[in-house]
Chains A and B, each alone.
Chain A
Amino acid sequence: MIRYWEKIYAKSENIKAYALLFPALLMVILAMASPMLLTFVTSFHTQVSMMEIDTTLTLGRYKDFFSKPVYTTLLGRSIKISFFVTLVTLITTYPLAYYIAFYVKKNKMLWIVLMTLPFWTSYLLRVFSWKVILGHKGVVNSALMALGMIEEPLGFLIYSQTAVVLTLAHAWAAFAILPLYVSLDKIDKSLLEASYDLGNSKFQTFWRVTFPLSLPGVIGAILIIFIPTVGDYVTPQLVGGTDGRMLSNMIQALFGRANNFPLGAASAVIMLFSVSLVALIVTYVTRKVSMRMS
């Protein structure tokens, strides 16, 4: 019997491949697919009391989500904050990636390592450093008070949406620099020379040649930053205050203190779909724009 199986195993390449794949496949199913599926199914259930969950399928939780203004507001705010974070990060990092790609001649790698150094320290500690700077007794406030410029700490510095945007933009800068740099570095320099020869100015060359060619990197950076920041949980929790709270904080509360698993699962599913939708729109629009430009 065993020999029979051995024969089949030795003969068929496909079975061999699947046998090699089996551990990975099992892990994917165990760690990835089934939890997601379960969350999806849970979102159609109803929480009856503390411990009990009614498992009849219903769309009630989705109705709950869209009928209570809290949830839609938080969803809108999450998307808005992520949008601003993406915008700020792109605007601040693009010139730098441009500089490293076109102006730095020696030691490009050293520059890249230098730019990504903050990324290697813990993300939480970067958030903490902003709290040290912006806090009520933080460096900015205490310095201004010591100089006698203000009487009371400036309240708007921390625990606001601005603080969340600033902290996130700082934390995700490295993730934007890498794709931007790669796409800019790949550009054939002779194309730029051709553009100059044809009488374009520096700015025109940038706008007509360099920028369209770097669009893949821009799309990559947008997706890399936008998707995780919508679901970000710790930054709004630490520097957001009540005003900067985002949807993930609500989801966490629903699974924790509020103890409404189905509604939490429904919010998670809705968040997932809206993130995917926005990502698709971004990709589609940029592709359209780049087609028109070239």
Chain B
Amino acid sequence: MKPQHALNFIFGIYIFIFLTYLFGPLIIMSITAFNSAEFPSITPWECFSWRWFQEGKIAYDGQHLAGLASDWRLHDGLIKSLIIGTGVVILAVPIGMAASIVLTQVHSRLRTIFYSVSIMPVLFPGVIIGISTVVLWDRIATIGGEGFIADIGRNGIFLTILGQTCFISTYCFLIFVARLQRFDQTQEEAALDLGASQTQVFFKILIPYLMPAIASSAVIAFLASFENYNTTVFSILSDQTLTTVIASKVRLGISPAISALALVIIALTLIAAISYEILRRREDRRKKERQDLLLFEQTKDSRLQKNEKKSFKIPKSVFVILFLMVVGIFSFNQLIKNNLYGPACVTAAEEAKKSKFSEQLKLLQQNQVSDDALQEGELGGNQDYGDIFGDPNLFKDFGGFD
């Protein structure tokens, strides 16, 4: 083997491992969304079901494990996240744009200082930003007394928008700076020479030039706001956003409904990424065609003329889709064959669990200890702990909590 080939081989293996590491957790999580068991897992596979996307289930102990469609907390959080995201976009994009325009105008020595001040918020840990916002507005609300100021000062959504804007506007700022660095200042000067006012220059030249940056910074601002947790968890106060709902679910009881939610979000991301890529390619091709045409018209060189007949080529992506379909049909077939799909399977699994549960209950009832035995001690009863709870004066001198 040539050393070149060996290197390529090692790279190939490495990339495979890395991609597994990058996507493996997400794929495994997505698969667990279809397992009907209450705990997200793969190996004790009960049944293939859609229940975590729908109404969830009521456990045998009466606890309701909500699915995606029936969880009002998630819906509530989602709406609040959307409101906050919109608010952040409205505030952060103009701020970032204004700051970036200032950066191009100020003197070169001031520029370094201004730049470092502008990117400061990114360096602050999000926790501190959230806490500071809450502390400040609590003061303002206290000073302002009752009424409007107190209302907005203690409104979680308002505080979250402010707190997130603080560092998200910096992301927007960086995007605008990157775009403005390639801006041709002579365009502005030409417009001014031709008699345009400053306002006209701003709206007819600068804004159209910045349009792609405006779009991408709006998208990034919205996504960053949507998935922020560190700042939001403090500034949201008593309200809940989608991320804080998810966090409380992840911490307290992790259920496959979260996997289902993750799968939905991943699917949306994938669709967005693919459509973006398709649009970008189409745009590239159109631009190239236009350039070719222009070149041909200028030179009249017949070799540059495009011959119109196009041979039909099967795009490669079709094979991928076909492969996925075949795998899907095959595995679904396997599921049906092994009775692992459908309501019958789910009820069977529930029955099995219920009977196991009642067996354990019976076992517990058999081993039950009588009340008298508990009084006496030996078995972890009252006597074993020096009979502290038998003392009638136990809470007599207790003044209560401050």
Query: Which A residues form the contact surface with B (CB < 8 A)?
Result: 16-17, 20-21, 23-24, 27-28, 30-32, 34-36, 38-39, 42, 49-50, 92, 95-96, 99, 103, 109-110, 113, 115, 117-118, 120-133, 135, 137-139, 142-143, 145-146, 170, 173, 202, 227-228, 230-234, 237-238, 248, 251-252, 255, 261, 264-265, 268, 271-272, 275-276, 279
Docked pose: A126 CA to B229 CA in angstroms: 13
For the complex formed, measure the closest distance between the CB of A267 and the CB atoms of chain B, giving whole angstroms: 10
Known A-B contacts A128-B254, A137-B39, A255-B234; the reply to A120 vs B273 at CB < 8 A is yes
Contact A32 B166 (CB under 8 A): yes
Say what secondary structure dominates the interface of chain B.
helix
Interface string of B89-126 (1 = CB under 8 A from A): 00100110011011001000000000000001111111
Q: Is the CB of A230 within 8 A of B125?
A: yes
Determine the chain B residues whose CB is within 8 A of the CB of A113 once the complex forms. Answer: 273, 276-277
The residue in chain A whose Cβ has the minimal distance to the Cβ of B169 is: A27
**Do B131 and A121 have beta carbons less than 8 Å apart?**
no
B8 to chain A, nearest CB (A): 8
Whether the pair B133, A24 counts as a contact (CB closer than 8 A) is no
CA distance A124 to B249 in the complex (A): 11
The 8 Å CB contact of B125, one of A30, A122, A248, is: A248
Point out the residues of chain B lying under 8 angstroms from A230, CB to CB. 125
Beyond A142-B42, A248-B125, A251-B131, is A31–B28 a contact (Cβ under 8 Å)? Answer: no
Interface size class of B (residues with CB under 8 A): 35 or more
B402 CB–A CB distance under 8 Å: yes
Which of B28, B91, B132, B246 touches A133 (beta carbons < 8 Å)? Answer: B28
Nearest CB of chain B from residue A123's CB, rounded to whole Å: 5
A115 touches B132 (CB 8 A): no
Q: Which residues of B contact A (CB under 8 A)?
A: 3, 7-8, 11, 14-15, 18, 21-23, 25-26, 28-29, 32, 39-44, 91, 94-95, 98-99, 101-102, 105, 120-129, 131-133, 135-136, 139, 162-163, 165-166, 169, 198, 223, 226-227, 229-230, 233-234, 243, 246-247, 250-251, 254, 258-259, 261-262, 265-266, 269-270, 272-273, 276-277, 280, 402
Q: How far is the CB of B30 from chain A (nearest CB, A)?
A: 9
Q: A132-B40, A143-B42, A264-B131 are in contact. Are A125 and B258 (CB under 8 A)?
A: yes
Contact (Cβ within 8 A) B125 A231: yes
Residues from chain A with Cβ under 8 Å of B165 in the complex: 27, 31
Interface contact B41-A142, CB-CB below 8 Å: yes
Residues of A contacting B18 with CB < 8 Å? 92, 95-96
Q: In the complex, given contacts A17-B105, A129-B26, A132-B32, what are 10 additional A-B residue pairs having Cβ atoms less than 8 angstroms apart?
A: A23-B98, A27-B91, A96-B14, A96-B18, A126-B26, A142-B42, A248-B230, A251-B127, A255-B131, A275-B123
Assess A170 versus B22: contact at CB under 8 Å? Given A35-B133, A36-B124, A231-B126. yes
- Contact status B250-A124, CB under 8 Å: yes
What residue in chain B is nearest A24 (Cβ atoms)?
A: B98
- Neighbour of A35 across the interface among B15, B129, B402, CB < 8 A: B129
Q: Are A20 and B98 in contact (CB under 8 A)?
A: yes
Contact B262 A125 (CB under 8 A): yes
Give chain B residues whose Cβ lies under 8 Å from the Cβ of A23. Answer: 94-95, 98
CA distance A139 to B26 in the complex (A): 13
Selected contact of A132 from candidates B28, B91, B124, B133, CB within 8 Å: B28
* B135, A38: Cβ atoms closer than 8 Å: yes
CA–CA, A252 to B230, complex, Å?
10
A32 in contact with B121 (CB, 8 Å): yes
When C-beta atoms are compared, the residue in chain B nearest to A147 turns out to be B43
CB of B105 within 8 A of CB of A232, answer no
Given A115-B22, A133-B28, A137-B39, decide whether A95 and B102 contact each other with a Cβ distance below 8 A. no
Nearest A residue to B3 via CB reads: A202
| A39-B128 contact in complex given A113-B277, A131-B250, C-beta closer than 8 Å | yes
